[in-house]
Amino acid sequence: MDELTKRQQLLLEQLKTSRALSVEEIQRRFAISTATAYRDFRALVEVGAAVKTQGGIRLAVTQAPAGASAQRCSFCGGELNERSSFIIQGKDGRQLKACCAHCGLMALGNQEVAAALTCDFLYGRMVNARQAVFLLESSVSLCCQPSVLSFASASDAERFQAGFGGQVCTLEEALARLRSVMHI
């Protein structure tokens, strides 16, 4: 990681200790502007040392050995959960598994996709992500933020939204909204 500045290397050391840092924490710890904090953590993301989160960064999970990767999210490193899983089949033949629709959507923008499946939150069955309906930022949060839940039908998503809030979106709308919220 020779391409990192001294401050960025110090930031990485802080991140290894804290596991996650907000932009405000980075500003405070290093007495820098918001723009500089974003530049510094963007450098860590670009070299693969960190992953962007809403309002900050977290330490990137190192690659697990072959066989073990099936148990961890390929985007955030969290534990996989059948109830919220998201599976991406790349055009290169690789299969990526994500712990939730949030990570699945974030990973979709990073590769050529042949197919993507997401788990319907209510019924637990896999559905084509292109046909799914997504509920963003409801009061139900499974793991990653902002919360994203998948549904097989718009009527199911709207009924769930009536009780738990959030925004009902198509795949394209969910991708755009998530990128906007995550400042990507």
As for how many domains the chain has, the answer is: 2
Instruction: Give the pLDDT of residue 68.
Output: 46
Is the same domain home to 49 and 97? no
Q: Please give the Cα distance from 43 to 45 (Å, whole number).
A: 5
Is the same domain home to 88 and 17? no
Domain membership of residue 174 (yes or no) is yes
Is the same domain home to 52 and 81? no
Is the same domain home to 124 and 165? yes
pLDDT in tens, the chain (184 residues): 457 889 988 888 888 877 788 888 889 989 999 999 888 888 888 887 888 877 788 877 654 444 444 478 888 778 888 888 999 998 888 888 999 999 899 888 767 889 999 999 999 999 999 999 999 999 988 778 888 999 999 999 999 999 999 999 999 999 998 888 776 6
Beta strand 113-119 with 86-90 is: antiparallel
Instruction: Give the pLDDT of residue 93.
Output: 83
What CA–CA distances, in Å, run from 59 to 19, 30, 118, 140, 180?
Answer: 5, 18, 25, 25, 21
Q: Is 172 exposed, middle or buried (0-12, 13-18, 19+ CB in 10 A)?
A: exposed
Is the same domain home to 99 and 128? yes
Give the ranges where the chain is alpha helix by DSSP (H): 6-18, 23-30, 34-46, 101-108, 154-164, 171-181
Spatial contact of 22 and 183, defined as CB atoms under 8 Å apart: no
Q: Which tokens go with 23?
A: 């932009």
Answer whether the bond into residue 65 is a cis peptide, omega within 30°: no
Is the same domain home to 169 and 96? yes
Please report, for the domain that includes residue 121, its CATH number: 3.15.10
Domain membership of residue 1 (yes or no) is no
Q: Which tokens go with 174?
A: 């969910």
Is the same domain home to 48 and 21? yes
Is the same domain home to 133 and 171? yes
First vs last C-alpha separation in the chain:
23
Spatial contact of 107 and 75, defined as CB atoms under 8 Å apart: yes
Is the same domain home to 73 and 41? no
Domain boundary among 59, 86, 103: 59
Please report, for the domain that includes residue 11, its CATH number: 1.10.10
Is the same domain home to 33 and 120? no
Instruction: Give the pLDDT of residue 110.
Output: 65
Domain membership of residue 39 (yes or no) is yes
Is the same domain home to 29 and 107? no
Domain membership of residue 177 (yes or no) is yes
Is the same domain home to 173 and 95? yes
Prediction pTM value: 0.64
Query: Please, what's the largest Cα pairwise distance for the chain?
Result: 52
Domain membership of residue 64 (yes or no) is no
Instruction: Give the pLDDT of residue 65.
Output: 43
Domain membership of residue 109 (yes or no) is yes
Q: Which residues form the domain of 47?
A: 6-59
